[in-house]
Amino acid sequence: MEHQVPVALVVGVTGITGLSLAQALKQPHCLGGGPWKVYGAARRPPPNWFPLSTVDNFITFNAVNSTDTLGKLSPIAGEVTHLFWVTFQFLGDEEANIAVNKAMLQNVLTALTSTPSSRLTHVTVQTGTKHYMGPIHDPGNKSIVLNGHAPPFHEDMPRLPYPNFYYALEDLVASHAPSLSYSVHRATIIIGASARSAMNALMILSTYAAPPPPVAVPLPGSRYTWEHFCDMIDARVLAEQHVWAAVTERGKNQAFNCTNGDVFTWKSVWRVLSEVFDVGFVELDESDEFDLVELMCDKGAVWDEIVEKHGLEKTKLEEIACFEAIMPVLRFGFQHVSSMSKSRECGFFGHADTFKSIRFWVGKLREMKLIPSYEYVAKANGYH
Ligand SMILES: NC(=O)c1ccc[n+]([C@@H]2O[C@H](COP(=O)([O-])OP(=O)(O)OC[C@H]3O[C@@H](n4cnc5c(N)ncnc54)[C@H](OP(=O)(O)O)[C@@H]3O)[C@@H](O)[C@H]2O)c1
């Protein structure tokens, strides 16, 4: 019998997970009989830093728009076997987030399943640990309290009584079973490389701490996060979990946490970053409390100069570094950790050493020319 290559559609391929996912699917020995055929999709055309060899075809469409989605995806609906959902829209108000994210996924599912020749069998949906936490954005709050479950987070914890677009996405894919199987990937803080990512913690911290000349700077945040545990997920491990669940019986119709399998304190991360950026390590000084949002709000023009001077890919600070998103994380008044036991029990053993992940991804950001590297010598940039 002829071997049929599995065909992936990665929606959000230029995002922090999307790129690693496409790269994983293209590996010669990728699970599922790889290398897969990969369609990668996003609203905008691929940027220069995106390696086009990681996709067979790049499709631009806006998933919010049902006509555009149908028009662009109908031609491949008879081919795609697996949908990887690594995209989202964040509008602020959670009811609006629910409406838009649900509509996006529904539009894509409709486009891929409305033809009799549809081959779609599995959908992976990426969500996150906000599943367990309740609302966390409180700008006036200096130590973010938990409105949800006590960590470590487990997949079987009941839903919280707050609107959450993650719940809506889970319900939507579950409503397609058994004609389709699905897996949900509740990622912790993701570490990877993309300049088309709304929330890329490493990129955010790099734009603050890495511009030349190397200057030691303090990390904002609280004594609590400085000294207590948190976890991260390397985008490569997260990609591995998506693929594993998509092709493994025990991964089907389940939700999984996804972390590197180790923990860190922000103090230890700041120490590693100070080494990688070749600057001195600065201890937390609680008497000098500051907010990255305020500190960086007028640094757009300075970033433009850095980009120009060091020949970086053209980016705008406000597009690559959402300081509003990192501040609550640095002020969590609880240990942000998730259990990986369920994943392991079901047979997924992917893991990474968080400190090695950080070094790897900073290297990638430099290689992709998204942040300066220290071969460049520059005069004071006005940041610090
Ligand atoms: N980033 C994290 O640290 C993190 C942590 C935990 C959980 N999560 C969750 O993971 C999920 C995926 O987020 P992510 O951070 O991986 O994504 P991301 O890095 O922000 O990437 C989003 C991708 O989706 C594309 N996109 C956005 N809107 C689109 C639309 N309307 N139509 C088609 N493509 C669209 C973007 O490209 P264009 O802009 O060109 O369209 C980009 O390729 C979200 O639910 C998020 O909450 C993220």
For the stretch 68-86, pLDDT in tens is 999 999 999 999 999 999 9
Mean pLDDT of 293-306: 94
Q: How confident is the model at residue 137 (pLDDT cuts 50, 70, 90)?
A: low
Q: Which atom of ligand 1 is nearest to the CA of 127?
A: 45
Among candidates 235, 368, 369, which has minimal Cα distance to 308? 369
Q: Cα torsion for 246, 85, 18, 264, to the nearest 10°?
A: -80
Whether the pLDDT of residue 381 is over 80: the answer is no
Mean pLDDT of all residues in 137-152? 81
Segment 348-352 shows an average pLDDT of 98
Q: Is the pLDDT of residue 213 over 90?
A: no
Q: Calculate Rg over the CA atoms of the chain.
A: 21
Lowest mean pLDDT among 89-103, 125-139, 246-260: 125-139
- Residue 132, pLDDT above cutoff 60: yes
CB 104 near ligand 1, within 6 Å: yes
- The percentage of the chain sitting over the pLDDT mark of 90, rounded to a whole number, equals 86
Report whether pLDDT(36) > 50. yes
Confidence category of residue 211, pLDDT binned at 50, 70, 90: confident
Q: Can you list the alpha helix ranges (DSSP code H) found in the chain?
A: 18-25, 66-73, 94-113, 130-133, 165-174, 201-209, 223-227, 235-247, 266-276, 292-296, 300-309, 317-320, 323-330, 341-346, 354-367
Q: How far is the CA of 244 from the centre of ligand 1 (A)?
A: 20
- Mean pLDDT across 318-339: 94
Site to probe by mutation for ligand 1, drawn from 21, 43, 105 as the one with most ligand atoms within 8 Å of Cβ, is 43
Rounded distance between C-alpha atoms, residue 12 and residue 27, angstroms: 19
In whole angstroms, give the CA distance from residue 238 to residue 261.
11
Q: What is the dihedral of CA 11, 87, 233, 170, to 10 degrees?
A: -100
Average per-residue pLDDT for the chain: 93
Residue 215 predicted with pLDDT over 90: no
CA distance 272 to 266: 10
What does the domain layout of the chain look like in residue ranges? Answer: 7-192+232-258, 201-230+263-336+355-367
Q: What CATH number should be reported for the domain whose range is 7-192+232-258? A: 3.40.50.720
Secondary structure of residue 109 in the 3-state scheme: helix
| pLDDT the model gives residue 29 | 95
> Is it the case that residue 375 has pLDDT exceeding 60?
no
Q: Inform me whether the pLDDT recorded for 45 exceeds 60.
A: yes
pLDDT reported for residue 378: 43
278: left (phi over 0), alpha (psi -120 to 50) or beta: left
Q: Is the CB of 192 within 6 Å of ligand 1?
A: no
Mean pLDDT, rounded, for 333-354: 98
Name the phi and psi angles at 118, rounded to 5. -55, 135
Q: Tell me what percent of the residues of the chain surpass a pLDDT of 70.
A: 95
Q: Cβ-count burial of 171 within 10 angstroms (0-12 exposed, 13-18 middle, 19+ buried)?
A: exposed
Going by CA atoms, what residue is nearest to atom 13 of ligand 1?
Answer: 87
Average pLDDT over residues 191-200: 94
What CA–CA distance (Å, rounded) separates 210 from 118?
Answer: 48
Measured CA to CA, the distance from residue 23 to residue 30 in angstroms comes to: 10
Mean pLDDT, to the nearest integer, of 231-254? 98
pLDDT at 233: 98
What is the Å distance from ligand 1's center to 198 Cα?
A: 7
Q: In the structure, what pLDDT confidence band is assigned to residue 187 with cuts at 50, 70 and 90?
A: very high
The pLDDT of residue 379: 42
pLDDT of res. 114: 92
Q: Using 50, 70 and 90 to split pLDDT, how confident is the model at 65?
A: very high
How confident is the model over 84-131, as pLDDT tens digits?
999 999 998 999 999 999 999 999 999 999 999 999 999 999 999 999
Please state, in angstroms and rounded to a whole number, the distance separating the CA atoms of residues 106 and 100: 10
Q: Which atom of ligand 1 is nearest to the CA of 128?
A: 7
Question: Helix, strand, coil % (nearest 5) of the chain?
Answer: 40, 15, 50
Q: What is the distance in A from the centroid of ligand 1 to the CA of 286?
A: 34
What pTM did the predictor assign?
0.96
Quote the CA–CA distance of 217 and 116 in Å, as a whole number: 59
| The pLDDT of residue 203 | 96
Please state, in angstroms and as integers, the Cα–Cα distance from residue 277 to each residue in 3, 211, 348, following that order: 48, 9, 33
